[in-house]
Amino acid sequence: MDNSYDISFTNTFSSLTSEELVNKAKNRLSDFRYTHCVRTAKTSVDLAKHYGLDVERAKVAGFLHDYAKEIPVEEYVRVIKEEGFDQDLLNWNRGIWHGVVGVYFIEKELDVHDEQILNAIRNHTTGSPNMAELDKVIFLADFIEPGRKFAGVEDARSQTALSLDDGVGFELRHTLTYLIEDQAKVYPKTLASYNVYGVKQSN
Ligand SMILES: [Fe+2]
Ligand SMILES: [Fe+2]
């Protein structure tokens, strides 16, 4: 049976029920991205168990990490201009916005205000120079969930099983390499994260 759509929560960290949370996510997301969110939530649960973190919190954060990824650009621009965000964000795109600004929509539409969850979502595309354990779990679950097929994903999975910091370092090196090969600009926080987690300890 196809269970790629199935997920439920015993604690939603919200006034919404598990069913309401799932339905709202389904309404905001394409099938392609919704199923990625379900797989990321399940991988987040596995990592939370492996590293002794709160499993339900990791499940909610993993599930909601891309909740805002398909919100229209015009809506983001309006929110960035009107809701007190750093105006430099206007020089970036949804790739960056759906974490940093995405939490605005998650708080408003889903009534989730748990700071650990929100921070993990804020940091999930860029990393951060000072990541909490949950931030690392969501950052990595997004990268290694079973739908990911890129060259090196097995290395990423084995590094992550050994140490969250090693996994984060691997992912940041991979992301930076990709951005540079693509001649894409690097968000400053991604570079700052690389300088903490991506470099050899002796450097
Ligand atoms: Fe994302
Ligand atoms: Fe994602």
pTM for this prediction: 0.97
For residue 126, name the pLDDT band (cuts at 50, 70, 90).
Answer: very high
The structural domains of the chain, ordered by start, are 18-198 (1.10.3210.10)
Residue 22 in this model has a pLDDT that exceeds 90: yes
* Spacing, Cα 202 to ligand 2 middle (Å): 32
Provide the 10 A C-beta neighbour count for residue 39: 21
How many angstroms separate the CA atoms of 88 and 154, rounded?
A: 36
* Closest ligand to Cα 37: 2
What number is the average pLDDT over the span 83-94?
A: 98
For 91, which DSSP code?
G
Q: So what's the pLDDT on residue 203?
A: 58
* Spacing, Cα 125 to ligand 1 middle (Å): 6
Summarised one tens digit per residue, pLDDT across range 129-177 is 999 999 999 999 999 999 999 999 999 999 999 999 999 999 999 999 9
User: Percentage of the chain surpassing pLDDT 70?
Assistant: 98
Q: How many residues does the chain have?
A: 203
